[in-house]
Amino acid sequence: MYFQSMTEFWAMGGYGLFVWLSFGITYALLAVLTAYSHYQHKQFKRQLSARLAREQRVKQYQEQVK
């Protein structure tokens, strides 16, 4: 490791705020995009299976009425 101690590492030679701000925002944005894309995929699958189940029930009911 280039730095002498962890305190020096976090300080980044006085530029700590800017360095950690950049890295923090980057990881946060990447994590949000990944999590949201997963959520969208799961959400759409749930909606679709709910719609298909409803169509199935309607079909069954119509056959009973006949």
Partner 1 sequence: MFKWLHPYAKPETVYRLCGRFYPWLMLSGVALLALGNIWGLAFTPPDYQQGDSYRIIHIHVPSAIMSMGTYSAMAIAAFIALVWQVKVAQWSVTAIAPIGAVYTAIALITGMAWGKPMWGTWWVWDARLTSELILLFLYLGVIALSGAFSDRQTGAKAASLLAVIGVINLPVIHFSVEWWNTLHQGASITKFAKPSIDPSMLWPLLISILAFKVLMLALVCLRLRTAILQNEQHRPWVKALVEE
Of 9 and 61, nearer to partner 1 (C-beta) is: 9
The token pair at 2 is: 């280039």
Q: Which of 4, 7, 14, 65 binds partner 1 (CB under 8 A)?
A: 14
Residue 52 Cβ, how far from partner 1 at the closest point, in Å? 6
CA–CA dist 2, 20 (Å, integer)? 17
Q: Does 60 bind partner 1 (CB under 8 A)?
A: no
Q: Does 18 bind partner 1 (CB under 8 A)?
A: yes
CA 42 to chain centroid, in Å, comes to 11
